Structure 1
Amino acid sequence: MIHPTASANDHNNPKIAIIGGGLTGLFTATLLERALGDNTVSITIFEKSRSVGRLATRYRTSSTHSDKQWQWDFGAQFFTAKSAEFSRFIAPWLDSGLLQPWLAQVVNLTPADSKEGASNIEAKEQWDTDHARYISTPKMTSWGRELADTLQQSTIEFKTRVAPLAQYTHAQTDAHLQTDSTLISKQTELFDENGERLGVFDWVICTAPNVQAFELMTESGFSELSQIMQPKMLACYTLMLGWDDLAYLPKIISNKPDWDVAYVQDSILDRIFIEHQKPDRKTLLPSITIHARNDWSEVHVDEDIDTIKAQLLVAAQRALNWNDESAPSQIDCHRWRYAATVTDEDSEPLGTLVDKQKQWIVSGDWCHKGNIESAYLIAQQTVKVILQH
């Protein structure tokens, strides 16, 4: 824990707080360390959960019948690298094999009109290496954990909720620190939700989803507060299904089907992903992740999760045509409150929001297009702002 004993002599060794240990936070810390060099920066990442990588996350559970596991990537299923900068950034992990292209066969799936009918499947596209969709192996969390493990000047404080921000100056509480009022006035002390001190920082970077960022900044006098809620974020429900053996799968996905990803038509479901057919997932029990449509999820976001799960199961059974013998043995449902960013292709992304006087930055993938590459591009913008100051 950093206590408020900083002085003007620390100006060349800035202390930076990053609120949120998702990919935006990890990318930001990584790029800051690279840009500022060894032993010139101290970064603390505050993460409210017990793990890193919000966008790229997974859920797993073990079978009671074997030593194998089900695994579901219930966050981002894959990511693209359309910019030259991001392509260069991910290259080392592609070389090591931690990141791999997913050459999935994609179909359109129209559910049957009745429980007894068969869903219609039509080929849509084959993902290739020219327009690659990448995944992290052997699980979607592997890359985020690798990023966290390789940080040198950064520490991560898990299970730590930062309280709403309010800037203070050391001059108001520590008279002996009035040697440089300009420097002191830009330092911020952070507290957790219980009022415990978290430290004093020269820069504070908030990478939380925009609704949570607004709550943290709403009484702080943040100069860009009005823009935080400009992007619209939608919810997403995820249904996770598992079977004890390939032999129990419904026919539409039994053996090795000629598809890996299905775009679902005329349904509250959006996409179906066959987890155990992804690269480096061969040891998994049969596992399928289903994302509900964002618009439907948003309308029902505050409803009881068991009620939602029941509705999604009805839709999933209609799409996958299982019977009593081929019904899933493992069922779970997850609610992403802030999952997708609504973007306008004709307008410029919001970009990072900066209060230069306070030296606070609000960032996040939602400041761009809401995907993993967006998290990297926003992290780049954040680092550029800090380097300019």
Structure 2
Amino acid sequence: MTDHTLLSTDKSSPKIAIIGGGLTGLLTATLLERASNQTHDLSNTPKITIFEKSRSVGRLATRYRTDSETGRNWQWAFGAQFFTAKTDSFQQFIAPWLETGLLQPWCANVVELTPADDNGQSPDIQSKEQWDTVHARYISTPKMTSWGRELAAGLKHTNILFKTRVAPLGGHTTHSDDKKTELFDETGESLGWFDWVICTAPNGQAVELMADSGFSQQVNITQPQMQACYTLMLGWDNAQELPETLNSQTAPQWDVAYSNSEVLDRIFIEHHKPARDELLPSITIHARNDWSQVHVDDDLETVKATLLMAAQQALNWGKDSAPSQTDCHRWRYAATIIDIDTKELGILVDETRQWIVSGDWCARGNIESCYQVARQTVEAVCRARSI
């Protein structure tokens, strides 16, 4: 963190609204609470409210189904599959959860997979690399959602309101001269007055939330370009029914495949991950972002059919080895297009209104970015309150 403290003796406890209960919102609340703890002045502890439109937090999305006969689950991490920790500060932050085992490194065997072609050529699998603990990819156990829920459970001065959709700030929102903002839900009911409003939604949603609000950084919200991603989820009833591509004694044994396909990007074997031994065979496939963006408004069942055809070419299943479970999910805002020559946007701050627009898309678009922008947000609040 920084040497700044959130609170000062001559200012009252701030009321802070965080729009969005994804990782950025949870990490922002966590770091705000930690900043306030530096003063040991409980009378000035910030009162934080997270408004989350869905029924859960974290957004490290997990979907599962239960086999009624065996009671065992298929499970798919249909959002982020893993994350990295490249900076010292983020490595230190996640260390406690590595010690408990809630976060674990995934040392996957990675291959490059060329799907079967129309001429009868079988899929070709070539070893690519093995992930190691030096350049670790981390997962949350037993589900990818577990870390987000643990972060939420650790919040002491934060109230999380689920299934609450905040209305655009350019609508009924009231802003007073003393830098307080009244938020409303989509029905027009008041959600209360706040000293700070922090929006952590994807930039497409942030544009709508801040439209016509007078937000001084409005034009910059659309600067990062984002692309969609479709996720295909497949399950088999037992390992014996897996296609040979997934269960071959001759081909390289693998956990992750980079696909040489116009449609598919990466294939992940869920039941090979740490702490997933009890799962029924479960495969998650991410489509290419550029392909997904072109088809982002297509009928979901049509997209699913196309992805299944591409997956069959990649995994080469037949009638006796076809998956028994299939599902598909569309992420409209999945990946931030990164230009190596372009400086990261950083959080967007309107100091006059004390509004902040944040999100992983303000940085590199990954989970470590959630932590980085959360730190930037807390530093901005600290600076303003120490003036």
For 1:238 and 1:227, the matched residues in 2 are separated by 29
Q: Which residue does the alignment assign to 1:204?
A: 197
Q: Give 1:201 deviation, angstroms.
A: 0.3
**Residue identity in the other structure for 1:360:** W
Change (3 A) 1:115 1:386: farther
Alignment of 1:223-372 (within 5 A): 223-254=216-247, 258-372=253-367
- Helix, strand or coil for the counterpart of 2:84? coil
2:48 pairs with 31, 37, 43, which one? 43
For 1:11 and 1:168, the matched residues in 2 are separated by 22
Change (3 A) 1:157 1:10: farther
* 1:132 and 2:136 are equivalent in the alignment: yes
TM-score, normalised with respect to structure 1: 0.92
**Residue identity in the other structure for 2:55:** R
For each residue in 1:305-335, what CA deviation from the matched residue of structure 2 results, as whole angstroms up to 9, or x when unmatched? 0000000000000000000000000000000
2:178 pairs with 178, 185, 189, which one? 185
Q: Which residue does the alignment assign to 1:177?
A: none
How many residues align? The count is 367
- Helix, strand or coil for the counterpart of 2:132? coil
For 2:119 and 2:234, the matched residues in 1 are separated by 18
**Residue identity in the other structure for 1:154:** T
Q: Give 1:11 deviation, angstroms.
A: 4.1
Q: Give 1:10 deviation, angstroms.
A: 10
CA contact (8 A) 1:364 1:375 kept: yes
For 1:10 and 1:326, the matched residues in 2 are separated by 69
* 1:381 and 2:376 are equivalent in the alignment: yes
CA contact (8 A) 1:168 1:185 kept: no
Q: Which residue does the alignment assign to 2:164?
A: 160
For 1:229 and 1:89, the matched residues in 2 are separated by 30
- Helix, strand or coil for the counterpart of 1:12? coil
Q: Which residue does the alignment assign to 1:173?
A: none
**Residue identity in the other structure for 1:228:** I
Q: Give 1:266 deviation, angstroms.
A: 2.9
For 1:266 and 1:235, the matched residues in 2 are separated by 17
Unaligned runs of 5+ in 1: 1-8, 171-183
CA contact (8 A) 1:111 1:267 kept: no
For 1:114 and 1:25, the matched residues in 2 are separated by 47
Change (3 A) 1:242 1:115: farther
For 2:10 and 2:307, the matched residues in 1 are separated by 55
For each residue in 1:169-224, what CA deviation from the matched residue of structure 2 results, as whole angstroms up to 9, or x when unmatched? 55xxxxxxxxxxxxx53000000001111110000000000010010101100000
Q: Which residue does the alignment assign to 1:221?
A: 214
For 1:116 and 1:324, the matched residues in 2 are separated by 16
**Residue identity in the other structure for 1:64:** S
1:147 pairs with 123, 146, 151, which one? 151
CA contact (8 A) 1:191 1:198 kept: yes
Q: Give 1:280 deviation, angstroms.
A: 0.1
For 2:150 and 2:48, the matched residues in 1 are separated by 17
Q: Which residue does the alignment assign to 1:22?
A: 22
- Helix, strand or coil for the counterpart of 2:174? coil
Percent same amino acid at aligned positions?
Answer: 65
CA contact (8 A) 1:138 1:280 kept: yes
For 1:255 and 1:185, the matched residues in 2 are separated by 67
For 1:143 and 1:252, the matched residues in 2 are separated by 32
For 1:243 and 1:169, the matched residues in 2 are separated by 55
CA contact (8 A) 2:82 2:137 kept: yes
**Residue identity in the other structure for 1:384:** E
For 1:116 and 1:275, the matched residues in 2 are separated by 28
For 1:63 and 1:11, the matched residues in 2 are separated by 56
- Helix, strand or coil for the counterpart of 1:107? strand
TM-score, normalised with respect to structure 2: 0.92
**Residue identity in the other structure for 2:50:** I
Q: Give 1:64 deviation, angstroms.
A: 2.9
For 1:337 and 1:281, the matched residues in 2 are separated by 28
CA contact (8 A) 1:239 1:309 kept: yes
CA contact (8 A) 1:16 1:41 kept: yes
For 1:106 and 1:289, the matched residues in 2 are separated by 15
For 1:115 and 1:329, the matched residues in 2 are separated by 27
Q: Give 1:115 deviation, angstroms.
A: 8.0
CA contact (8 A) 2:347 2:362 kept: yes
Q: Give 1:65 deviation, angstroms.
A: 2.8
Q: Which residue does the alignment assign to 2:5?
A: none
2:110 pairs with 95, 102, 106, which one? 106
